[in-house]
């Protein structure tokens, strides 16, 4: 007999008691009841991963569980929120217990690392799709927003860009960079590191922030639009990993790689707008923060090369439903 919906919930998701004292009622009732501390606001985000669209069909279940939460944590990080709770809507073609065990292991690995409690969800049958909703906390009025960048601010990004875009090519068998770089790039695709601590540390210091899920070019564009400003981006400053640099060095036209760093998806780094004074006096972060440009009054995104020459084509990010 195949395992029932209720056994799936009991065995893989409800077995872990929520260890947060702010969970008044977790899995098992019609809805969860959660205690928001006085003086705090609730920050909510939800993201869906569809098999074949957001991850290759053969992605290990551990990585799917991990990534489904990671992409949501990245949204909380961009708001400067402290992660607290999550719920999970899972649609499965069939109740495959080995798959479920792997998926839950990946999901809880990241949830535990951030002290989050799974407090509810929904389990249905259909083509594989995973929706995770996360909730986090910020001091009232303190969330970091896309709007707020000021002319003269520095545009800064965490970590490195473009690795996941190369990782996707590796996953699709279109690129082979040798075992070590393949592993690194694939890991950057399947197990992105949401910049949760950096987001919280920069919440009060940055004027604006966004997470980079569709490529820096596209996501910085949203930040500029929200703030009614423009920016000059120095392409020679884009932070690139050693694996990405090695790939780039092997190309006939090394600049072609920059469109991946600018327009490739799935980086899950943060892009922030900070005053130069604040940037100079930042506390130590758990990830590198690189200045890549400057906010200007004139709307639009202008790219320059290392010599300050303006580049014409600004590659856009990945878009669903694009014509």
Which residues of the shown chain bind ligand ADP in the complex (CB under 6 A)? Answer: 9, 13, 27-30, 88, 90, 118, 120-123
Supply the minimum distance, in Å, between the C-beta of residue 88 and ligand ADP.
4
Which is closer to Mg ion, CB of 4 or CB of 236?
4
Burial (CB count <10 Å: 0-12, 13-18, 19+), residue 77: buried
User: Could you tell which of Mg ion, ligand ADP, none binds residue 90, using a CB distance below 5 to 8 A set by kind?
Assistant: ligand ADP
Instruction: Tell me how long the chain is.
Output: 323
First-to-last alpha carbon distance for the chain, in angstroms, is 46
204 binds Mg ion, rule: CB under 5 A: no
Which is closer to ligand ADP, CB of 30 or CB of 58?
30
User: Could you tell which of Mg ion, ligand ADP, none binds residue 111, using a CB distance below 5 to 8 A set by kind?
Assistant: none
Q: Are 283 and 200 in contact (CB under 8 A)?
A: no
**Binding residues for Mg ion, how many (CB under 5 A)?**
1
Supply the minimum distance, in Å, between the C-beta of residue 121 and Mg ion.
8
Nearest to 98 by CA among 59, 61, 58, 52: 61
Window of 45-53, 120-128, 133-141, 251-259 that interacts with Mg ion by CB under 5 A: 120-128
Supply the minimum distance, in Å, between the C-beta of residue 265 and ligand ADP.
26
Which is closer to ligand ADP, CB of 96 or CB of 183?
96
Which is closer to ligand ADP, CB of 122 or CB of 245?
122
122 binds Mg ion, rule: CB under 5 A: yes
Supply the minimum distance, in Å, between the C-beta of residue 31 and Mg ion.
10
Which is closer to ligand ADP, CB of 88 or CB of 240?
88
Window of 65-73, 98-106, 119-127, 285-293 that interacts with Mg ion by CB under 5 A: 119-127
**Could you tell me the sign of the dihedral formed by the alpha carbons of 235, 237, 243, 248, in that order?**
positive
The H or E element that residue 154 is part of is strand 154-158
Which is closer to Mg ion, CB of 123 or CB of 241?
123
C-alpha–C-alpha distance, residues 223 and 88, integer Å: 29
Q: Are 241 and 247 in contact (CB under 8 A)?
A: no
Supply the minimum distance, in Å, between the C-beta of residue 39 and ligand ADP.
28
Which is closer to Mg ion, CB of 28 or CB of 152?
28
Nearest residue relative to Mg ion (C-beta): 122
DSSP letter string over 66-81? HHHHHHHHHHHHHHTP
DSSP character for 263? H
User: Could you tell which of ligand ADP, Mg ion, none binds residue 254, using a CB distance below 5 to 8 A set by kind?
Assistant: none
C-alpha–C-alpha distance, residues 313 and 315, integer Å: 6
The H or E element that residue 243 is part of is helix 242-249
Window of 17-25, 105-113, 116-124, 250-258 that interacts with Mg ion by CB under 5 A: 116-124
C-alpha–C-alpha distance, residues 108 and 116, integer Å: 9
Which is closer to Mg ion, CB of 88 or CB of 295?
88
Q: What is the widest separation between alpha-carbon atoms in the chain?
A: 68
Supply the minimum distance, in Å, between the C-beta of residue 5 and Mg ion.
9
**Could you tell me the sign of the dihedral formed by the alpha carbons of 177, 183, 193, 241, in that order?**
negative
Between vectors from CA 135 to CA 30 and to CA 141, what angle results, nearest 5°? Answer: 130
Q: Which residues contact Mg ion (rule: CB under 5 A)?
A: 122
């Amino acid at each position: 007999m195949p395992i029932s919906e209720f056994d799936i919930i009991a065995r893989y998701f409800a077995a872990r008691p929520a260890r947060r004292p702010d969970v008044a009622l977790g899995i098992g009732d019609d809805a969860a009841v959660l205690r928001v501390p006085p003086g705090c606001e609730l920050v909510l985000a939800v993201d869906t991963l569809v098999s074949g669209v957001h991850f290759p069909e053969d992605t290990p279940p551990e990585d799917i569980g991990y990534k489904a939460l990671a992409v949501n944590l990245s949204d909380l990080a961009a708001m400067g929120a402290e992660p607290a709770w999550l719920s999970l809507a899972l649609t499965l073609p069939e109740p495959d217990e080995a798959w479920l065990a792997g998926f839950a292991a990946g999901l809880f690995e990241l949830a535990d690392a951030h002290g989050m409690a799974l407090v509810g969800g929904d389990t249905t049958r259909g083509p594989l799709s995973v929706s995770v909703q996360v909730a986090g906390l910020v001091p009232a009025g303190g969330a970091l927003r896309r709007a707020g960048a000021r002319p003269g601010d520095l545009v800064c990004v965490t970590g490195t860009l473009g690795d996941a875009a190369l990782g996707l090519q590796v996953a699709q068998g279109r690129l082979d960079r040798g075992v070590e770089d393949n592993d690194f790039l694939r890991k950057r695709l399947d197990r992105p590191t949401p910049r949760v601590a950096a987001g919280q540390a920069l919440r009060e210091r940055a004027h604006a922030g966004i997470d980079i899920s569709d490529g820096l070019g596209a996501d910085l564009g949203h930040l500029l639009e929200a703030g009614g400003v423009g920016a000059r981006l120095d392409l020679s400053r884009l932070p690139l990993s050693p694996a990405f640099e090695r790939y780039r060095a092997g190309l006939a036209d090394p600049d072609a790689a920059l469109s991946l760093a600018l327009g490739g998806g799935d980086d899950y780094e943060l892009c922030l707008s900070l005053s130069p004074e604040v940037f100079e006096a930042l506390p130590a972060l758990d990830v590198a923060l690189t200045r890549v440009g400057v906010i200007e009054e004139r709307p639009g995104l202008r790219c320059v090369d290392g010599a300050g020459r303006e580049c014409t084509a600004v590659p856009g990010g990945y878009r669903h439903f694009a014509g």
